[in-house]
Amino acid sequence: MFGMDNFITVLFVVNLLLSMIIIFRERKQTAQTWAWLLVLLFVPIVGFVLYIFLGKGISKEKIFDMRAQANVGLNVELEEQKQALKRGLFPHPPTDQVEVKQLVYMLTVFGHSLYTTSNQLTLYTDGREKFDALIADIDQAHAHIHMEYYIYRGDALGVEIKEALVRAAKRGVKVRVLLDAWGSSSVSLKFFEELRVHGGQVSFFFPLFVPFINPRINYRNHRKIVVIDGKIGYTGGFNVGDEYLGVVEKFGYWRDNHLRIVGPAVYSLQNRFLMDWNSQHKLEIKYDEALFPSIHATGTVAAQVVTSGPDTEREEIKMTYLKMINLAKKRDHDPNAVLYPR
């Protein structure tokens, strides 16, 4: 008779075989493969569910689609910088420090990060100040607004930002909003209905086909990027939600870092947004000079935008941290767990 013991045995074997097939097909690193095999061996069924939600990677086809969008509009300049660095010609040297040159070399050649100068940076550590500045810039936009956030809530701040975007769309500004489907699961397309009626576009990164259930929890888009007219950029740690204004008692005062950038570094933020946007759309945004306008840069700051994710071969942000720590001579003080800009 086929009893419960036999059923459990068969279920265990099927679970292990299917798990091994999935894991080895994805060709993970050896340490990751063995770790998951042990989980599946000692925690059957539950381990398989955990793997589906936390361990399963993106398909090769999907990663290829994301990589295919790489460096929209910046390929030529980035390649010129790489070749110059390989020949020992440092572009626009801001310093004679060997450590800085080593970092720039690594980020440019291996991290595919464009080196820029003459940037003007404003650092915000208070959410209200940051969003007041952002809304003021949105109200002055005349060409396009590209916005990308991990968390966007439909609370007072979310409505305030949305209303600013609607005002811009009514003026004829092209508005595109890309939100992470998991982090922004509290809002839907209906929340942005007025914006969409006036021509704004809203999309979700790796959407949830079943509400609140997502097998790609570990492949979320945590970027916070805003690009206005291709000349002004924002990036940092503040998401869109009342808690980031310090008005939610549960969280208290929220201190974070966020940058407003005016200068050629904005091109890299624009590029990153276009890559993320195109990875989620069949109708891609093609390179257009209007998206990378000439910028009259008067700042004094050199900057590189570092990004990494499932579409990159190396862990660029992690490697940047390790390099900076390795090059440090006096002290290493990290007030946050995130590297900015990213």
**Residue at 332 is within a domain:** no
**Residue at 277 is within a domain:** yes
Same domain, yes or no: 186 and 263? yes
Number of domains in the chain: 2
Residue 316's pLDDT is what?
86
Same domain, yes or no: 248 and 288? yes
**Residue at 175 is within a domain:** yes
Same domain, yes or no: 93 and 17? no
**Residue at 342 is within a domain:** no
Same domain, yes or no: 12 and 159? no
Residue spans of the chain under pLDDT 70: 1-5, 7-8, 11, 15-16, 18-34, 36-37, 40-45, 47-72, 91-95, 208-218, 310-311, 313, 331-342
**Residue at 341 is within a domain:** no
Same domain, yes or no: 161 and 221? yes
Residue 341's pLDDT is what?
46
Give which of 316, 318, 314, 292 is closest to 305, Cα–Cα.
316
Same domain, yes or no: 132 and 15? no
Instruction: State the DSSP string of 117-128.
Output: EEEEEEEEEEHH
**Residue at 165 is within a domain:** yes
Supply the pTM of this predicted model.
0.81
Instruction: State the DSSP string of 36-75.
Output: HHHHHHHSTTHHHHHIIIII----HHHHHHHHTTTTTTTH
Angle at 131 between CA 126 and CA 134, to 5 degrees: 130
248 token code pair: 């939610």
Same domain, yes or no: 211 and 310? yes
**Residue at 280 is within a domain:** yes
Same domain, yes or no: 115 and 16? no
- Of the residues 18, 36, 56, the one at which a domain ends: 56
Task: Count helices and strands (H / E) in the chain.
Answer: 11, 8
Same domain, yes or no: 205 and 141? yes
Same domain, yes or no: 19 and 131? no
Determine the structural domain holding residue 227 and report its residue range.
64-327
Measure the N-to-C terminal CA separation of the chain; round to a whole number of Å. Answer: 61
Query: Cβ-count burial of 127 within 10 angstroms (0-12 exposed, 13-18 middle, 19+ buried)?
Result: buried
Rounded Cα distance, 316 and 298, in Å: 29
* CATH number of domain containing 98: 3.30.870.10
